[in-house]
Amino acid sequence: MRIDVGLARRDTPGCERVVHLNNAGASLQPRHVLDATIAHLRLEAEIGGYEAAARADGAVERVYDAAAELLGCARDEIAFTDSATRAWCAAFYAFGFRPGDRILLSRAEYGANAIAAWQVARRTGARVEVVPDDGHGQLSVDALRELLDERVRLIAVTHVPTHGGLVNPAGEIGEVARAAGVPFLLDACQSAGQLPLDVGRLGCDLLTVTGRKWLRAPRGTGLLYASRELAEQLEPAMLDLHSAEWVAADRVEIRPDARRFETWEANVAAKIGLGVALDYALGWGLDAIWDRVRALGAALRAGLAAVPGVTVHDLGQVKSGIVTFTVAGRSADAIRAALRAEGINVSVSLASSARYDLDRRGLPELVRASIHYYNTLAESERLCNTVARLARTASAGQRL
C-alpha cells in the first residue's frame, strides 16, 4: 500500500501551520491521537481519574496489543513507560552487573544510555567498551564477533542514532548475539514508527521505544519490549505496588511479565493516545511508511548536498529520514533559529548527546532535519532553498 499523503496531511492539523522537519524530536500528532487524549483528560475532570481509567480500560489495554503487533511479540512482553530512556534504564539497571563484566555499546549510542553505562561501570566495576564501526560508519559486525567472550554480559546498540541517518545492521548484530548467548538490548527510539521492526528477526531480547517521535504519540510515553525468557531473570532496580505484590508482611512477589518494569501511576490519557498512535501507524503499514520516509530522506539529503557551503554528515549503508548537515560560516543554532523564523522546524544535535561518534568525527554540532511520511517534496525543497539563501549570505559575510 502507498501512503495517501493528502489524507495523512488532512489528518494532521499542524501541517497547516508549519513545515515540520523535526520528527526525530517530536512529530506532529494526527487528530485521532489528539482527540482521544483530550477526550480522556476531559473524562477525568468530569467523573474522576480512577473512574475514567476504569471506563477506558479497553483503550488502555489496547496499547499492549498494538505494541505487540508493531514489534512482533506477545502482549505480556510489553511494558508502558514515560520515555525511551526510562525503558532503557529499567532494563539496563536490572542486570546487576559485577566487576569484570563487559558491556558492549555502539559508537552511535545515545548520550543517556552512555551516561547510565558510565554510572553502572563506576558503581560496579563493570567495563564499558565501544564496538568499532566498519568502513560505512555503521557498527562492524565482524569487530563485534571478535570482542565477544564469556565476560560480555550485554550488547546494547542504538538502531538509528539521534544525530544522523545511519541505520545500524540490527538483524546481523542480533544473529551474533544469539549465537553467543549474550542478551541484546536495542534502542529503537528513532526507528520505531519509521521502519518495520520485528523482534524475532532483529534477534533482540530487549527493545526500547519512545512515543512522541516517529510514532506520533503524545509526549511522556514510551515502551519496553522484554522477552519472556529474559524478563523473568531481570529484577527491576525499582519495584512498586504494580510491578510487585506485597503478599505477606515479609514477602513480595515480582510480576512475572514485562509489566514488572512499569510503575503503578501513569498518564492514562497519554497512554490511550499512544495506543491510538500505534493503531494509526499500523493502519498505514510500516513498510509503506518506511518506503516513503526513505525516499523523502534521500531526496532531502541530495538536495542539501547540492547546496554550496553545506556538508551532509550521515553515515551508513542504509539511511533513514534523519538528515544532518552543517553550513559553512553559520552555527547550527543560527540555522535552526533562522529556519524557525520562516516557519520551518528543524533541530540541533550536540556532541554531548552522541560523544562516542561526534567527538571522533570532530563535529561539535549538527543541524538535524527529519522527514516523515506526511511531509512533502515541496517542503523538502523549501528547506533546501532557505538553507541555500542562508549559506549564500554566510559566504558573503552577512549577519543573520
Residue 162 found at the interface with ligand PLP (CB under 6 A): yes
- Of 200-229, binders to ligand PLP (CB under 6 A) are 210, 222
CB 368, CB 348: distance < 8 Å: yes
CA nearest to 90, candidates 171, 197, 172, 207? 207
- The Cα 333–Cα 400 span in angstroms is 12
Residue 326 found at the interface with ligand PLP (CB under 6 A): no
Cβ proximity to ligand PLP, 163 vs 330, nearer residue:
163
CA nearest to 218, candidates 35, 2, 15? 35
Count of CB atoms situated within 10 Å of the CB of 398: 10
* Shortest distance, position 349 Cβ to ligand PLP, whole Å: 9
Residue 161 found at the interface with ligand PLP (CB under 6 A): yes
* Shortest distance, position 211 Cβ to ligand PLP, whole Å: 8
CA nearest to 8, candidates 321, 290, 284, 215? 284
Cβ proximity to ligand PLP, 94 vs 390, nearer residue:
94
CB 271, CB 293: distance < 8 Å: no
The letter for the amino acid at 229 is E
Residue range at the interface with ligand PLP (CB under 6 A); choices 46-54, 156-164, 327-335, 372-380: 156-164
161 φ, ψ (degrees, to nearest 5):
-75, 165
Binding mask of the shown chain, residues 303 to 322, with x at each position contacting ligand PLP by CB under 6 A: --------------------
* Shortest distance, position 397 Cβ to ligand PLP, whole Å: 35
Cβ proximity to ligand PLP, 166 vs 176, nearer residue:
166
* Shortest distance, position 109 Cβ to ligand PLP, whole Å: 8
* Shortest distance, position 10 Cβ to ligand PLP, whole Å: 28
CB 80, CB 221: distance < 8 Å: yes
Residue 273 found at the interface with ligand PLP (CB under 6 A): no
Sheet strands (E) in 113-221? 127-131, 152-158, 184-187, 206-210
How many residues interact with ligand PLP (rule CB under 6 A)? 13
CA nearest to 138, candidates 110, 166, 164? 166
How does strand 102-106 pair with strand 127-131? parallel
- Of 70-129, binders to ligand PLP (CB under 6 A) are 83-85, 110, 112
Cβ proximity to ligand PLP, 85 vs 386, nearer residue:
85
The C-alpha cell at 50 is 480512577
The C-alpha cell at 257 is 511479565
* Shortest distance, position 210 Cβ to ligand PLP, whole Å: 3
CB 103, CB 153: distance < 8 Å: yes
* Shortest distance, position 393 Cβ to ligand PLP, whole Å: 30
- Of 163-192, binders to ligand PLP (CB under 6 A) are 187, 189-190
Give me the residues that bind ligand PLP (CB under 6 A), please. Answer: 83-85, 110, 112, 158, 161-162, 187, 189-190, 210, 222
